[in-house]
Amino acid sequence: MSYPQNHKIIDISHFQPTPDFQMVKGAGVIGVIHKFSEGTTVRDSEYSARRVAAKGAGLLFGRYHFGHPGNIAAQVANFLDGWQPDELLALDWENTTDGAMSVGDVIEFHDRVLAATGQRIAIYSSNAAKEALRGPDPVLSKCRLWLAQYAAAPVCPPGWSKPWLWQWTAHGSIAGITGNVDLDSFDGTDDELRASWAGVSEPPETDTVTVTISVPRGSKVRITTTGEVEVS
């Protein structure tokens, strides 16, 4: 696969010294993904101030959640506190000190975020997804894949032919940030990146109810419904 090693996106957390986002933008960066939360209670103390600064510099901005196994409802509540519709919402799915989230955990996380926001998450992963997925998952494969792989070319887990974002190095250098920084590549135009940033908003899924009614010939039937009705 031919894939560019550009640096249109950087991802950071409080571990990086305070960036000069005007310089970051001048270096060719389009957007920033910042850690927001971890588990059920942890928050990144630098997120809020950096969101204001990055947006002020004209950069796209998003948040990611470092996921742990279990307690998914509480983790989603922690992650979505104060979210804005223009933000990228991403789940960091990787091995932790208490293990990796299961496929079921990730699906539940996705479903809860989708129900609350109308947007599908982006999934950041490397080995955890490759080890857990034995084939394409019909839910997760609809999400954008943010692949972490430090190699000459990205190799995706089952369900994706190419990544939406490719984190191709953890030792990048960008003007405006002291020290190493993760660099993330996007294979497309700047306008395409902006258009896909917050994900496709989707209406909540609704159930289809099929009802069969048998009535005597000549009888009148009155149907009251709040949804669409197909009569056959």
106-124: pLDDT as tens digits = 999 999 999 999 999 999 9
Q: Is 84 exposed, middle or buried (0-12, 13-18, 19+ CB in 10 A)?
A: exposed
| Rounded Cα distance, 134 and 124, in Å | 18
Q: Is 152 exposed, middle or buried (0-12, 13-18, 19+ CB in 10 A)?
A: exposed
Rounded to whole angstroms, how far apart are CA atoms 1 and 12? 27
Contact 62, 197 (CB under 8 A): yes
- Which secondary structure element, helix H or strand E, spans residue 80, and what is its range? helix 72-80
Exposed (0-12), middle (13-18) or buried (19+): which is 163, by Cβ within 10 Å? buried
User: In whole angstroms, what is the distance from residue 60 CA to residue 32 CA?
Assistant: 6
49-71: pLDDT as tens digits: 999 999 999 999 999 999 999 99
Length of the chain: 232
Architecture of the structural domain at 9-196: Alpha-Beta Barrel (3.20)
What six digits make up the tokens of 138?
A: 């019909």
Rounded to two decimals, the pTM is 0.84
pLDDT of res. 3: 85
pLDDT band per the 50, 70, 90 thresholds, residue 37 = very high
Angle at 6 between CA 138 and CA 143, to 5 degrees: 10
Q: Is the pLDDT of residue 232 over 80?
A: no
**Residue range 155-184: mean pLDDT, rounded:** 95
Residues of the chain above pLDDT 90, percent: 77
pLDDT band at 224 (very low <50, low <70, confident <90, very high): low
